[in-house]
Amino acid sequence: MSNENSKTPLYFIRVIMLVKGPGSPALCDRLEKSLDGNAVDVEHKIFPDGERYVHLKGDVSGEDCVLVHTTHPSENLLDLFFLQDAVFQGGASSLNIVVPYFSYGRQDQCFSDGEAISSRAIARRIEIEANSFYSIDLHSSKITDFFSIPATNLSAMSWLADHAELYDPDLFLSPDEGGIQRIKKAAEEVEIEWDYLVKERIDGETVKIEPKGIEVEGKTVVILDDIISTGGTMFEAAKQLAEQGADEVHVGCTHGIFVGDAFQRLKGVCDSIFCTDTIEGKGNEVTVAPLILESVFGIE
């Protein structure tokens, strides 16, 4: 299992101290257990006026540090920038950033005049006080090109595929053609068939969703994606696959945002929902801790 996209060859850090970002508390705890406690806790609070505060609870002077901190919700971006400043102010030798979920990654180009390329704007801010950057299943592989420091896009698809084997699947599906590389990687991990879903508009109110070339009747199907936000596409896909005769439909993703009642709605039409702990919350059946330990810390 290896990185999906990197501007430079992956390198391993000489001496490592984990900085436990408040955006990823459970994930950082899992990482710390494999690092012999070589970690710095972070005090984090929000003042009555909404302003945010972070405080390193340990000495990072002369250390090569890895800060792990997801950027969802958006306020976590401020915590990331403040933590970067605190680590450099503390005299760290280097700071390597791991953002399990990179928010604003879906805006990677201008679609109309006057728009900001938000993912580029964030990349430029992160690199001011960082020596390298890692994220997991970025929505667009182009994002690593926005960094002038080494930037690596890791993939959790192999870990999701391993988890999906619990359901004895016959077929992996991507919800669209754009996810072909992700679903292919997952399917190759467990050596099963894969396909992607296509939409056909029947009339103004009806859309048919079905696999491009493989029948699902009598099969256990797993749909895998990078992000589930509102879950509307996944909901309709799972419902129609069941109507097309699939025995079981399971839904998984790397980043489970699950806006509003999305998680509960999906539970009503599929047999299981699972995601990684890049965003901590519902459905965290898979941890990316081994991926980060292997790819960033050099620990297998």
- Which one, of 65, 104, 100, lies nearest residue 83 by Cα? 65
- Which one, of 145, 121, 40, 24, lies nearest residue 86 by Cα? 40
Q: What's the CA gap between 160 and 42, in Å, rounded?
A: 30
All residues at 6 or more sequence positions from 263 whose CB lies less than 8 Å from its CB, including other chains: 231, 256, 273, 282, 283
Q: Is 119:102 a contact under the CB 8 Å cutoff?
A: yes
Q: Please indicate whether residue 199 is annotated as part of the active site.
A: yes
What's the count of helices (H) and strands (E) in the chain, helices before strands? Answer: 8, 16
Give residue 5's identity as a one-letter amino acid code: N
Give residue 130's identity as a one-letter amino acid code: A
Strand partners of residue 133: 97, 151
φ/ψ (deg, to 5) at 95: -135, 120
Q: Burial, 19: exposed, middle or buried (Cβ in 10 Å; 0-12, 13-18, 19+)?
A: buried
Q: Is 17:67 a contact under the CB 8 Å cutoff?
A: no
Q: What is the DSSP string of 238-257?
A: HHHHHHTT-SEEEEEEEEE-
All residues at 6 or more sequence positions from 145 whose CB lies less than 8 Å from its CB, including other chains: 7, 151
Pick the catalytic residue from 184, 199, 239, 282.
199
Q: Is 88:95 a contact under the CB 8 Å cutoff?
A: yes
Q: What's the CA gap between 198 and 259, in Å, rounded?
A: 24
What positions carry a catalytic annotation?
199
